[in-house]
Amino acid sequence: MEEKFKNLPLRNGVGIVVLNKDNKVFVGKRIDNQRNFWQMPQGGVDDGEDHLSAAYRELEEETGIKNVKLLKEINGSTSYDLPKNLLGKIWKGKFRGQKQKWFLMKYLGNDNEIDIKTRNPEFIEWKWIDLDMITETVVNFKLHVYEELKEKIKKILIK
């Protein structure tokens, strides 16, 4: 990482693992990346906002999903650094990466309630995938985050 970016802070963020009735995971294909990478809903925490409120807000802003039940706040937090080609370009160049608090939620609605054509769309497509597939579809710089989440979620679902 270039010296000028090393001292930048991590952005405070949240991520949401949304499961449907078959325990498949919601993923969206980012609108700003034409390659075949998919991710779970995530985003920043606004000033004065708590993590859970941010998770519900981000989920609705990105997917239109409101009809969910919180299953678990996932223990700990995860973080990642941006790759060189994104440093200084996203988040107005203020952050070197993101530290995230993740939440596991169950989707209680029907698929036709999901609407990714939001005011500021982030996804061009969406789908439900097996939990084991989340590490097969994510960008490389977030792979370690998804590997950790996959193991934590498996332990939660076994209980």
Interval 75-133: pLDDT, tens: 999 999 999 888 888 888 999 999 999 999 999 999 999 999 998 999 999 999 999 99
pLDDT at residue 87, rounded to an integer = 87
Q: How confident is the model at residue 13 (pLDDT cuts 50, 70, 90)?
A: very high
Q: Which residues contact residue 32 at a Cβ distance below 8 angstroms, ignoring those fewer than 6 apart? A: 122
Say if domain 3-158 classifies as CATH 3.90.79.10: yes
Domain ranges, ordered by start, for the chain: 3-158
CB atoms under 10 Å from CB of 3, counted, come to 6
d(CA 74, CA 105): 10
pLDDT mean across residues, the chain:
94
For the cut 80, the answer to whether the pLDDT of residue 34 exceeds it is no
